[in-house]
Amino acid sequence: MNVHPIEFRYFSDEMKNIFTEEAKLQNWLTVEAALARAHARLGHIPKSAAGEISRKAALKHVKLQRVKAIEDKIHHDLMAMVKALTEACGKSAGKYVHLGATSYDIEDTALALQLSSAIAVILRQVDKMEEILIKLAQKTKRLVCVGRTHGQHAVPTTYGLKFSIYACEFQRHLERLAEARKRIMVGQMTGAVGTQASFGKNAQKLQKLVMDDLGLKPVFVSNQVIQRDRHAEVVFCLALVAATAEKIAKEIRNLQRTEIGELCEPFGAGQVGSSTMPQKRNPHKSERICSLARIIRAQIMPALENISLEHERDLTNSAAERVIFPEAFILTDYVLRQLQEILGRLFISEENIRRNLALTGGMIMSERVMLELVERGMGRQEAHELLRRAAGEAFTAGKPFRAVLLDNKRIMAFLKAKDLDRCLNPESYIGTAVAQVERVGGELQRRKACRL
């Protein structure tokens, strides 16, 4: 019976399969096999024994059901795996299973394999997000819309600039994740408290052989566990990715409001928005992203608290990590896939964008008029005050802003009507927005080419 929504609702098969019990067990077995091969190469155990351990270190020989049955008796999951693998290998090879290792030599090294695979999936999804946003930015680079600060109309901007900002944010996430992946792709064979005493005089060679076999780097130094600042960094990177996804989803939600109506997430022909209000087109996918981002961010605190283990280690990180990593990765992956779906079929209403640009009757262009007055000789502070008063009059009296300005003799002493109309045109005041979008697109595509 499924209980957690990441099992049946908020997941992709690709990411969920990385965190199944079977996948975790196979990672443990993979590390045990690499350890046996390293021992054999150094002459610690017979090569035939290492070969047998390597052959039997697979789910078809070591069944999850058998491991669980052993764990029910001994109450130690890693040792249950060791016993099950030993059974599968028989007496001659089985006696060399787990030689010299402590539990977290296996678990933390296997965790590095698991998290590396999971980060690779997230990296692909973030890369797709960047690509989608670059295309949207190019498509809308000249689509002028009203900019909003403090929830109020400010000055014009473009949708292309909005999407370019998001694309750059995902580019930074790519860089952070790639760096975090380097730091998480380390394993250890250091024994009970990190001294490597149980591995003998060739301990460092053995550790390197194991990690080379697995495609990992040997940890530089550790105690019984790999230090949890590495893992906390990964979780923090996921939270940052989720925060950007939430930022975009929140913008879509706000711009989909009935009174604004500039954007709308996809809505299928047979889709239902409300169980009682047939007309509703709720931005439920965007709301879901915002909701799940809260859960992803919530994993940061326990990940940070896992850093301060007692002495050479305690077990307080273990139970928390069984929750933190699957939730953070599976939900981040799901959120990114949902956002890709939304943006891939995003509806943009140019009609409503134009309507909202004109909603204040030209008041969003007051800065443009102010600067024109300054250019023609008026003091900046005087121009600001004149336009502030004019905007207040237009707002209070319900007059068109243009009409108020035309009636102002002081302002019109510097401008002609045609100059005013030019200044009140939103498309005349987007600065370098188009050039910025083009520069961002070119730079991000260049960086993408370098990654390939």
Catalytic residues: 150, 274
CA 444, 146, 395: angle at the middle one, nearest 5? 160
Q: How far is it, in rounded angstroms, from Cα 267 to Cα 132?
A: 19
* Strand partners for 281: none
Taking the C-alpha atoms of residue 4 and residue 14, their distance in angstroms, rounded to an integer, is 17
Q: Is 359 helix (H, G, I), strand (E, B) or coil?
A: coil
Q: Residues 6, 331: contact at Cβ < 8 Å?
A: yes
CA distances from residue 328 to 42, 101, 292 in whole angstroms, order as listed: 40, 29, 10
d(CA 220, CA 153): 55
**Calpha distance 4→10 (Å, rounded):** 9
What the block records as the tokens of 312 is 């050479």
DSSP class of 438 = H
End-to-end CA distance of the chain: 42
Dihedral angle of Cα 214, 219, 224, 226, to the nearest 10 degrees: -90
> Of 10, 190, 188, 222, whose CA–CA distance to 111 is shortest?
188
Q: Name the phi and psi angles at 152, rounded to 5.
A: -115, 155
Q: Give the containing element (helix H, strand E) for 340.
A: helix 316-344
Give the span between the Cα atoms of 81 and 68, in whole angstroms: 8
Amino acid at 105: D
Helices first, then strands: H and E counts in the chain: 20, 6
Q: Work out whether strand 263-264 and strand 152-158 pair parallel, antiparallel, or are unpaired.
A: unpaired
